[in-house]
Structure 1
Amino acid sequence: MPQTDLTWNTSLLYSAPDSPELEAELNSFESMAASFRQRYFEKISQLDPQSLLSALREYEAMQVSMAKPFCYAHLLFAADSTNEINRALSQRCSELGNRLSQQLLFFDLELMNMEDDRFETLCSLQEADRYLHFLRSIRKFRPFTLKENEERLLTRKNLTGLSAFTKLFDELSASFRYTMEMDGEEQEFTGEELLSLLHHPSPDVRFRALTLFLERHGEHGIVYNSVFNNMALDHGQEMELRNYTSPIQPTNIGNEIPDEAVEHLMETTEANYGLAQEYFRLKAKMLGMDKIRNCDMYAPVAESEKKFEFNEARNMVVAAYTAYDPEFGRIVEAFFSERRVDVMPRTGKSGGAFAMGISPEAPPFLLLNYTGTLRDLATIAHEAGHGLHFVLSQKQNMLNYHAPLPLAETASVFGEMLLTRMLLENESDPVVRRSLLCAKIEDIIATTFRQTVLTRFELRLHRERSKGLLSNVRIGEIWLEENAKLFGNAVEMIPAYQWGWSYISHFIHSRFYCYSYTFAELLVLALFQKYREEGESFKPGYHSLLESGGALSPAETARLAGIDINEGNFWQKGYDFLAGLIDELKAIV
């Protein structure tokens, strides 16, 4: 595949950032929103049910039309935040989106505050079925919602508050270049390329790579301190205004999971930290070390870890999805053949990986930072799963398009399992099987135990910030203390790891998102086990789960595939599965 084919073809959305079509759409939105506001402001509670339905359809149509240019701007910015045209368009869309939110937020507020009997009359209409989950979801925020003028003020100040600090974090992090000696000469790396060296066979290279990456963030500690402190302070003040009892409560309400259930999920995870420590000690034995450092956690257990050319990796991922369902394979292949994937790392490009679902009418896109490791191969399967989920849920309307956060990782993690099992079934070499098992175990540890560590850290950060400004030393102490609970005496943390909190974008972009990974991983382990037991009869229910998008609660959605997440020992079953993988690895070792 030529190098040019490894970048996004964003012309599928618009021909260029200065295209007349894009300009016309952006210029139309404020008058569109103003017209909608003029017709419906302070009138929602007096409308008859059919007129309310018409208003809902108009609102939905606006959301669809606005999503496309705003997501286009985000894709350009993510691909190259150093490009002035991309930066200008991104900022323009941020400011426009903020103004539109101020104009339109009355609609949610008035729906939220309708009298119960009128609201239930609307919900009882057959034509309202496709909007039910959206309607009932926003009503859950009724006790925590302010008056319209106050909500508009909070939305307006986000432009110079949360949004500004988020953009600062993104631009600074994407701008870093790193120089490190490799094979006797100085070489230049992006952050993603440097982190990929954590899979290098040399302990010295792994240590130097992680140290350099973290210390560079530490050099900009004043900026990161300001970002984290101000975002936590802003969130805390808003929680106080809205009378929430904890910083995580709005996330839990949005996820439709009670606070107690989230706490039970994390406590069950913490009770199984010993499994991770058992694996870390086993990993040290495989590496011939007394104790591994946290820079060694992803070290190859073979003499040299296999590298995968991108085309090879792409074909393997497509094959894994095709073997499960030919339709899934066609959907995943289309991301590559239609150039809806940006593949390689470069300066100015966003780090990590993500999938962007725009609307039920526009094609989703994937971002990767591919460096050829086994972990990167799994990341392709992961993001392709997100993309598959976005495609299948396009049968929903815009207001129910996006899956709730706890289920947003379901298809992605399931896709990784499909890939891992395909690789294990086709591999007889015990050395390679050992590497594959290690990779899967490490992935489960990263998406369950580590995400709980991140959530506990985030909770402590927000709670301590409510008492006063936090120094980088104190933030680092909280970070190391929470990680120490997972590592125990099985893993030594390197000195630079005090800055390990500073680069994690979930803390900035999606507060308290991280436990959703734990939820999804354990759910998928249950789903995958059910698939292995039931075979073909499992597939229709799983297909329905993905198609449902955000039309149902997490519990209702899981029930489509025959899973009851409220079963008493449901979460523990996932860790029993992990224990089985560790036993399988022990047998090989």
Structure 2
Amino acid sequence: MKGTKYSQVWNLDNLFPDGNISFQFQEHIKYLETKVCNLEKELSHLNTPQEINESFKVAELIDSIEHIRINLSQSNSYITCLHAQNTKDQTSSILRGKTSSINARFEIALKKLQKTLVKTDHQLWEDMLDTEVLSSYKFILSEWRKKATLLLTDDEESLVSDLMLDGYHAWGQFYHSLIGSLKVSVQIDGETKELSIGQAMNLRSHPDEEVRKESHNTLEKVWKEYEEQFAKILNHIAGFRLQVYKKRRVENILEEPLMENRLKEETLNSMWKAVSKNKQPFTKYLNQKAEMIGDTKVKSYNFWAPLRKSNRKIHYEEAVHFILEQFSKFGTEIESFSRHAFNNGWIEAEDRPNKSATAFCASFPMSGESRVFMTYGDRITNVLTLAHELGHAYHNHAMKPIKGINRQYPMCIAETASIFTEIIILDAALEKAGSTDEKLFLLDEKLKRSVMNFMNIHSRFLFETRFYEERKSGIVSTSRLNELMQEAIDEGYEGSLDNVSIHSWVWTPHYYITKTPFYNFPYTFGYLFSLCIYAKAKDKGKAFEKDYIDLLRDSGSMSPEDLVMKHLGEDITSETFWEKGIELCVRDVEEFITLTSS
């Protein structure tokens, strides 16, 4: 942008020039097809290992798999970025179809290898894992062996994978295309503006209540108009997933998300128990805020509202400088990395039509880069989103020296890294607050995040769990989806939120992510875990950055339980661990009540 040092438009050309007509990208796809074809041929001759020296062959296959995975990630991320920057780009959808087909073949090949390895004699398997060529992959290979016990026959897995392309994953892609194509008209400062869903959602934190209310009501009308279409999408995604579970004899709908997060159910239950027991302070915060606004309960469209009416804008360049300044206080590497990202076109933040509504970070492991996508709207919430996505990018950066398949970390740890950087920025802003009003404004922003993770995310978990249980018996109607959402929000917020959006199931994209089921609890996990990490960082200062990088680098080769025990010496299967993080947030509530009562 003119007049600013940092561009708000990213650079994708150094990845693959010429966008959706890139010749280099077409060649990349052809290369991928060849590599997957070669892997399929190798696996067609693979037999169950009988001798320990076959460890070398397994190691060679792992190298091939990781090479393909890195190349696939590069292509998938590129297509995701193309579509996000312009949801009307039909060519990117065609390209996604090509890479999805390659990805499906790759997944079939990977499952075939896993099924072959699971047949290996137990003692021989243990001996193979102790060999020099496989010992560094011990955790991942053991995980593969466990996953293989749930797999169907090769032909059945191949059929499921093929059907996913134009069924399961296609429904998820259709959701993003549909919601990305919608437009709403909202009156701002006496002028009617046509906005994308992402732009309209940004108005949740607008200082003018009338703008927030109109945006909320306008969006609700759109959700109501399209609810049948979205209900069909959600039902078909869930139905497909449940049919596959049924075939694999998986009864617990949490089995896959827990396995993907490498998390014990005991850990998840302890976390939610701790959260459920400690919601009262946050209900008190919401009620206090409602009273200040002049309501008995906080209306949903006022939840993200600034506590004090303020027209102050945080321009993009100011946000960048503040983020870099605060990151430098934590460590030199994160500051240097983030500066490089801002200076080299890794960030797409421009506020313009036809962009996707969802912020994200995309990894490009071949080139060792990331891309951050968002719509920046000059508000503190946008600054925090930018910091959040940079946290994901920094995690990708930290994993660069890690070999092969040990780079794959679970979502609950991914969210830890992103929320950690968000906390750095929010706490820094609080420390710099020059007045009580400014401090209250920022403390309110901090508490909103606690409410989101303890109440909103819990309501999402409750909704998704109950929806899937009902979906086992057949299609869940639109009216029932609205009822389930209302019930989940009432329980999650303990009745402290008014005028709720019963169509939250429509506009929350996480319900429609086909590659990551139950993408809700990883946020709460990450939030509480990051609070504990942040407390350690505050105590140790800049020296902690090395410890933090070590933790991130272990995140792909350990369970969360073992990771936290190794680096923090804490048992996360215990409610006590989670209560420590919650207690830090309760102190924020107490300070908020004190400041607003004086």
Interval of TM-score (by shorter of Structure 1 and Structure 2): over 0.9
Pair 1:29-2:32 in alignment: yes
**2:90 aligned partner:** 84
**1:45 aligned partner:** 48
Pairing of 1:436-455 with structure 2 (within 5 A): 436-455=442-461
Q: Secondary structure at the match of 1:290?
A: coil
Shift of 1:90: 2.1
Pair 1:125-2:128 in alignment: no
Pair 1:522-2:524 in alignment: no
Residues 81, 303 of structure 1: alpha-carbon distance in 2 compared, 3 angstrom cutoff = closer
**1:376 aligned partner:** 382
**1:431 aligned partner:** 437
Pair 1:6-2:8 in alignment: yes
**1:269 aligned partner:** 275
Pairing of 1:107-122 with structure 2 (within 5 A): 107-122=113-128
Residues 483, 329 of structure 1: alpha-carbon distance in 2 compared, 3 angstrom cutoff = same
Residues 418, 563 of structure 1: alpha-carbon distance in 2 compared, 3 angstrom cutoff = farther
In the alignment, the residues of structure 1 paired with residue 537 and residue 174 of structure 2 have an alpha-carbon distance, to the nearest angstrom, of 44
Residues 62, 435 of structure 1: alpha-carbon distance in 2 compared, 3 angstrom cutoff = same
Once the two structures are superposed, residues 223-269 of structure 1 have per-residue CA deviations (whole angstroms, 9 ceiling, x without a partner) of: 10110111111111111111112111111122222223212212221
Residues 108, 555 of structure 1: alpha-carbon distance in 2 compared, 3 angstrom cutoff = same
Residues 36, 80 of structure 1: alpha-carbon distance in 2 compared, 3 angstrom cutoff = same
Native 8 Å contact 2:330 2:541 kept in 1: no
Shift of 1:560: 4.2
Q: Secondary structure at the match of 2:383?
A: helix
Pair 1:504-2:508 in alignment: yes
Shift of 1:486: 2.9
Pair 1:323-2:329 in alignment: yes
Pairing of 1:128-207 with structure 2 (within 5 A): 128-207=134-213
Native 8 Å contact 2:59 2:134 kept in 1: yes
Native 8 Å contact 2:349 2:374 kept in 1: yes
Once the two structures are superposed, residues 201-235 of structure 1 have per-residue CA deviations (whole angstroms, 9 ceiling, x without a partner) of: 33332222112113212211121011011111111
**1:215 aligned partner:** 221
Native 8 Å contact 2:15 2:367 kept in 1: no
| Matched residue type, 1:26 | I
In the alignment, the residues of structure 2 paired with residue 536 and residue 90 of structure 1 have an alpha-carbon distance, to the nearest angstrom, of 42
Q: Secondary structure at the match of 1:29?
A: helix
TM-score for both structures, normalised by structure 1: 0.95
Once the two structures are superposed, residues 141-187 of structure 1 have per-residue CA deviations (whole angstroms, 9 ceiling, x without a partner) of: 23311111111111110011111101110001111111122233322
In the alignment, the residues of structure 2 paired with residue 163 and residue 568 of structure 1 have an alpha-carbon distance, to the nearest angstrom, of 36
Pair 1:462-2:465 in alignment: no
Shift of 1:548: 2.5
In the alignment, the residues of structure 1 paired with residue 90 and residue 233 of structure 2 have an alpha-carbon distance, to the nearest angstrom, of 23
Shift of 1:536: 4.5
Pair 1:232-2:235 in alignment: no
TM-align CA RMSD = 2.0
| Matched residue type, 2:503 | W
In the alignment, the residues of structure 2 paired with residue 127 and residue 384 of structure 1 have an alpha-carbon distance, to the nearest angstrom, of 34
Q: Secondary structure at the match of 2:557?
A: coil
| Matched residue type, 1:9 | N
Structure 2: gaps spanning 5 or more residues: none
Shift of 1:6: 1.8
Deviates more, 1:542-551 or 1:2-11: 2-11
Deviates more, 1:181-190 or 1:498-507: 181-190
In the alignment, the residues of structure 2 paired with residue 399 and residue 171 of structure 1 have an alpha-carbon distance, to the nearest angstrom, of 32
Deviates more, 1:25-34 or 1:334-343: 25-34
Q: Secondary structure at the match of 1:421?
A: helix
In the alignment, the residues of structure 2 paired with residue 136 and residue 155 of structure 1 have an alpha-carbon distance, to the nearest angstrom, of 23
Shift of 1:84: 2.6
Residues 70, 195 of structure 1: alpha-carbon distance in 2 compared, 3 angstrom cutoff = closer
Structure 1: gaps spanning 5 or more residues: none
Q: Secondary structure at the match of 2:193?
A: strand
Shift of 1:88: 2.0
Once the two structures are superposed, residues 408-452 of structure 1 have per-residue CA deviations (whole angstroms, 9 ceiling, x without a partner) of: 111211111111221122223110010010001101211232111
Match of 1:573 among 558, 580, 583: 580
In the alignment, the residues of structure 2 paired with residue 181 and residue 347 of structure 1 have an alpha-carbon distance, to the nearest angstrom, of 16
**2:265 aligned partner:** 259
Shift of 1:97: 2.3
In the alignment, the residues of structure 2 paired with residue 168 and residue 343 of structure 1 have an alpha-carbon distance, to the nearest angstrom, of 24
TM-score for both structures, normalised by structure 2: 0.94
| Over 6 Å off, 4+ runs | none
**1:479 aligned partner:** 485
Identity over aligned residues, as a percent?
21
Once the two structures are superposed, residues 354-395 of structure 1 have per-residue CA deviations (whole angstroms, 9 ceiling, x without a partner) of: 111232643111111111111111111111111111101111
Deviates more, 1:225-234 or 1:440-449: 440-449
In the alignment, the residues of structure 1 paired with residue 540 and residue 530 of structure 2 have an alpha-carbon distance, to the nearest angstrom, of 15
Pairing of 1:59-78 with structure 2 (within 5 A): 59-78=65-84
Count residues with an aligned counterpart: 587
| Matched residue type, 2:15 | L
**1:555 aligned partner:** 561
**2:548 aligned partner:** 542
In the alignment, the residues of structure 1 paired with residue 292 and residue 380 of structure 2 have an alpha-carbon distance, to the nearest angstrom, of 18
Q: Secondary structure at the match of 1:243?
A: coil
In the alignment, the residues of structure 2 paired with residue 525 and residue 19 of structure 1 have an alpha-carbon distance, to the nearest angstrom, of 43
Residues 529, 32 of structure 1: alpha-carbon distance in 2 compared, 3 angstrom cutoff = closer
Shift of 1:502: 0.5
Shift of 1:104: 4.6
Residues 275, 42 of structure 1: alpha-carbon distance in 2 compared, 3 angstrom cutoff = farther
Native 8 Å contact 1:105 1:152 kept in 2: no
Q: Secondary structure at the match of 2:185?
A: strand
**2:307 aligned partner:** 301
**2:23 aligned partner:** 20
